[in-house]
Each structure stands twice: as C-alpha cells, then as structure tokens.
C-alpha cells in the first residue's frame, strides 16, 4: 500500500497523541492474549473515504491487526452499514480505535459534503473543485476525500499552478497584463496561468493578457453570465467566493466551467462512525 509523502508521518503523529504513555486502561483490564473481532459501522448516511488511512493506523499499532474493508472509498452507505471489520489482539484494537475513527469520520464527512454539492450541479457541465482551505497536515487525504465525493482537486500546493490575485498585483506594482507577462516569463511552460478578477473590466484585461483560466471572484450571477459570454471559450472560467449549497446550482447555470468551494473541506461535519467489538475469542 503506497501513500503520498507525509501520510505515514501524519498517522504516526496522531497515534503519538493517544499512545505516548500506552493504553493504561486496556493494559489493566484486558488480557494480553485476548483476540477480538470488531465491526466499524456508519451510523448515518454518507459517502465513505479514508479506508486506506484507517488500515495504515491499524498496521502502525500492530501488524497482527487484520483490517477488512467491506465498501470502497466513494461508496454511499445507509445508516447501520458495516463498512469494515477488524480482527486481532483486543488491546491493539482498542489502541487503534479512536485514531482510525478520527480519520474515517473526518474524511467521510468531507466526501459526504462534496457529494451533496456535486449532486446539485449535475447536468450543468460545471465541475466542483476544492481549495487550499484544508486542515494543516491533512491536505493530501482531504483532497482524496473530495475526489471520493465526486469533486475535483484544484492546486495541491503553491507550486502546482500560477494564480494571480489582487495581493500579487498590489505587491508587484503591476496590472493584470504585466503580471501575466511576468508569469509567462518565469513559470514553467507546462503550467497554466490563472487570474482572479472581481469585475467585467478585470475579465477583459485577463482575456486580452492571454490568461488560461479566469477566476470570477464573488461576482453576481448576471456579471458571471456576461463574463462567460465575453470569454466565449477562450479561457477556462472558474467561479469562486460565497459558494453555498443554496447558491451553487444558480452559479453553475451561468455557464462557468469550474466552481471552487472551500466549504467542502473547512466546514465539513464529521460522519458518525462507530467501532463495536461483537465477538471476543480466547
């Protein structure tokens, strides 16, 4: 099982929070030789994500633990669905329990909220993309959860694409055309140039400068429609800012190509998932 750089370290850090001094309760009350069988159950409807991370937690706690997923990342489940089983030393199961549930609940919450947004724009041709508004250290796995929910990833890091915003223009002392020229001259030729604009004048400047992607930041719906018409397919059009479940359909219907939404990561509510030990064997 391969993970992106940093995921194992993240799991180790999470386990260290719980296990620096060991599990003194289990050591005091559970026989060391006891084996157990546990079920991991979704207690609410949702989309599952993070199963491989949960498995890594188990491996790091005790290689003797056997994690068996019964669904896949991206699967929608009903309440009471058993999504995985866990077999092995009872003490190790108890040591892994909280950490694996923390990962599963958080990542499944991201996938579930993403799926709600994606369902609302079905048939419009627009795609939902995430942002860098992620939990520090969790970006890779939260963005994987976005994909599990049917969304698409924007930049993973600042090196993945040029995105010229108002602060860049102000600090660089240049207009949109100058900033795009500078980006073309200094960024790798394989990287797209995106420009954030706030009004139709900015749209025109970005278009004339040859931007590959034009981000419409906090624009009203009528201005978005006008921007899409003006751009006419000469650049990818992204809508951003104030994207909510109530508004996203109307934004998609303006004809934009992408809709970026920070809420799917920074405001997702954890999915309720539990671990229950059903059978204990000696």
Give the domain CATH number at 77: 3.90.1170.20
CB 203 within 8 A of CB 233: no
87 and 147 together in one domain: no
96 and 125 together in one domain: no
Q: What is the pLDDT of residue 180?
A: 94
CB 193 within 8 A of CB 184: yes
101 and 142 together in one domain: no
Instruction: Look up residue 55 and give its two tokens.
Output: 């498995």
Q: What is the pLDDT of residue 4?
A: 75
Q: What is the pLDDT of residue 279?
A: 62
Instruction: Find the CATH number of the domain harbouring 184.
Output: 3.20.20.70
Distance between CA 233 and CA 24 in Å, rounded?
Answer: 63
Low-confidence ranges of the chain (pLDDT < 50): none
Please give the radius of gyration of the chain, using alpha carbons only, rounded to the nearest integer: 23
Q: What is the pLDDT of residue 278?
A: 75
Distance between CA 277 and CA 159 in Å, rounded?
Answer: 45
CB atoms within 10 A of CB 111: 30
Domain containing 221 equals: 119-266
- Residue 140 covered by a domain: yes
27 and 55 together in one domain: yes
- Residue 86 CB partners (closer than 8 Å, separation 6+): 37, 38, 39, 40, 58, 65, 66, 67, 68, 93, 96, 275
209 and 262 together in one domain: yes
Distance between CA 179 and CA 167 in Å, rounded?
Answer: 11
163 and 227 together in one domain: yes
128 and 252 together in one domain: yes
147 and 222 together in one domain: yes
CB 269 within 8 A of CB 113: yes
CB 148 within 8 A of CB 49: yes
Query: So which residues are the catalytic ones?
Result: 98, 133, 165, 196, 217
Predicted model pTM: 0.95
Query: Strand locations in the chain, DSSP E?
Result: 35-42, 46-47, 66-69, 76-77, 81-89, 127-129, 162-164, 193-197, 213-217, 236-240, 258-260, 273-281
- Find the Cα–Cα–Cα–Cα dihedral 188, 189, 192, 194, rounded to 10°: 70
107 and 123 together in one domain: no
């Amino acid at each position: 099982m391969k993970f992106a750089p940093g995921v194992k370290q993240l799991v180790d850090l999470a386990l260290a929070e719980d296990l620096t001094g060991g599990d003194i309760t289990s050591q005091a009350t559970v026989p060391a030789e006891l084996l157990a069988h546990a079920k991991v159950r979704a207690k609410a409807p949702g989309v599952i994500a993070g199963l491989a991370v949960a498995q890594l937690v188990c491996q790091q706690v005790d290689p003797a633990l056997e994690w068996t997923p019964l669904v896949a990342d991206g699967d929608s489940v009903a309440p009471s669905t058993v999504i995985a089983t866990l077999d092995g030393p009872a003490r190790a199961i108890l040591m892994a329990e909280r950490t694996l549930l923390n990962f599963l609940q958080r990542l499944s919450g991201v996938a579930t909220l993403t799926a709600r947004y994606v369902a609302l724009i079905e048939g419009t041709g627009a795609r939902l993309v995430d942002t860098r508004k992620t939990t520090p250290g969790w970006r890779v796995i939260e963005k994987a959860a976005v994909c599990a929910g049917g969304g698409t990833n924007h930049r993973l890091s600042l090196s993945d694409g040029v995105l010229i915003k108002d602060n860049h223009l102000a600090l660089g002392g240049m207009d949109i055309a100058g900033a795009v020229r500078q980006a073309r001259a200094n960024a790798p030729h394989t990287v797209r140039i995106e420009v954030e604009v706030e009004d139709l004048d900015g749209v025109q400047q970005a278009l004339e400068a040859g931007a590959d992607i034009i981000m419409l930041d906090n624009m009203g719906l009528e201005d978005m429609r006008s921007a899409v018409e003006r751009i006419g397919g000469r650049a990818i059009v992204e809508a951003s800012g104030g994207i909510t479940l109530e508004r996203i359909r109307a934004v998609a219907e303006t004809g934009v190509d992408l809709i970026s939404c920070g809420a799917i990561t920074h405001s997702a509510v954890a999915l309720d998932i539990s671990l229950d030990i059903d059978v204990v064997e000696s």
